[in-house]
A and B are shown apart, each in its own frame.
Chain A
Amino acid sequence: ILNVEQSPQSLHVQEGDSTNFTCSFPSSNFYALHWYRWETAKSPEALFVMTLNGDEKKKGRISATLNTKEGYSYLYIKGSQPEDSATYLCASAGNNRKLIWGLGTSLAVNP
């Protein structure tokens, strides 16, 4: 993988459902992995910055895991709420320290 890829591109879930999506990134020369939430008409907001293989981070109902050897990160949302509706972006930095961004996963939570 040469770029940062996110899947799925979009997701529709019902309120209360748990969901997860994936960020794939180049595993060689890995430096850091960022997750951001971008709500419509607002600025992107940082969720997590992860650097260590096996890292798990949690913020409320949202958590993320990191596998640097195989080059992927999962973002989990437990019990989705309508206010979780947003685009979730991930970005990976290699040894050149430049962040490469994915296209995002657009999540819509129906009440």
Chain B
Amino acid sequence: DAGVTQSPTHLIKTRGQQVTLRCSPKSGHDTVSWYQQALGQGPQFIFQYYEEEERQRGNFPDRFSGHQFPNYSSELNVNALLLGDSALYLCASSFHREQQSRYEQYFGPGTRLTVT
């Protein structure tokens, strides 16, 4: 049973470019959340997708967008990259329930994005 997978593992981009990160949830999970962890910080919630729609969003600008596919996998897109976007991007999956945050999330290994 594959856990949460993310690709790529590392990525280097330059300012102004666009990037797409990918996540496949754990088998049986239908909800995907994305987090950004900058150096020395805790994970910051970006947004959550369920049934191919963004259900919740954290305090991130519109440059951060996402998508969920019918197979529950998800993409995180960041446009007009800034140096401050350099971080580890984590994807977490779970099974949707009304009381979703009362259940544990399963995290992927993350994608390390460096913006130069």
Chain A residues within CB distance 8 Å of chain B: 4, 31-32, 34, 36, 42-46, 49, 51, 89, 91, 93, 96-104
With A43-B108, A97-B56 as known contacts, state yes or no: A103 contacts B100, CB within 8 Å. no
Q: Are A44 and B107 in contact, with the CB atoms below 8 A?
A: yes
Q: Are B101 and A103 in contact, with the CB atoms below 8 A?
A: no
The residue in chain B whose Cβ has the minimal distance to the Cβ of A99 is B101
Q: Are B107 and A43 in contact, with the CB atoms below 8 A?
A: yes
User: Which secondary structure characterizes the binding site on chain A?
Assistant: strand
Q: Does B106 contact A (CB under 8 A)?
A: yes
Sample of 20 A–B contacts (CB below 8 Å): A32-B101, A34-B101, A34-B104, A43-B4, A43-B90, A43-B108, A43-B110, A44-B90, A45-B107, A46-B106, A49-B103, A93-B101, A97-B101, A98-B45, A98-B58, A99-B45, A99-B101, A101-B43, A101-B44, A103-B41
A101 to B90, CA, bound (A): 13
Chain B residues within CB distance 8 Å of chain A: 3-4, 35, 40-45, 56, 58, 90, 92, 99-110
With A42-B109, A103-B41, A103-B42 as known contacts, state yes or no: A49 contacts B104, CB within 8 Å. yes
Supplied contacts A93-B101, A93-B102, 12 more A-B pairs, CB within 8 Å: A31-B101, A31-B102, A32-B101, A34-B101, A34-B105, A36-B107, A43-B90, A44-B92, A99-B101, A101-B45, A103-B40, A104-B42
Q: Are B42 and A102 in contact, with the CB atoms below 8 A?
A: yes
A93 to B102, CA, bound (A): 8
The residue in chain A whose Cβ has the minimal distance to the Cβ of B33 is A99
Q: Are B58 and A43 in contact, with the CB atoms below 8 A?
A: no
Residues of B within 8 A of A103 (CB): 40-42
Residues of A within 8 A of B56 (CB): 96-98
The residue in chain B whose Cβ has the minimal distance to the Cβ of A32 is B102
Residues of B within 8 A of A49 (CB): 102-104
Residues of B within 8 A of A89 (CB): 42-43
The residue in chain A whose Cβ has the minimal distance to the Cβ of B58 is A98
B51 to chain A, nearest CB (A): 16
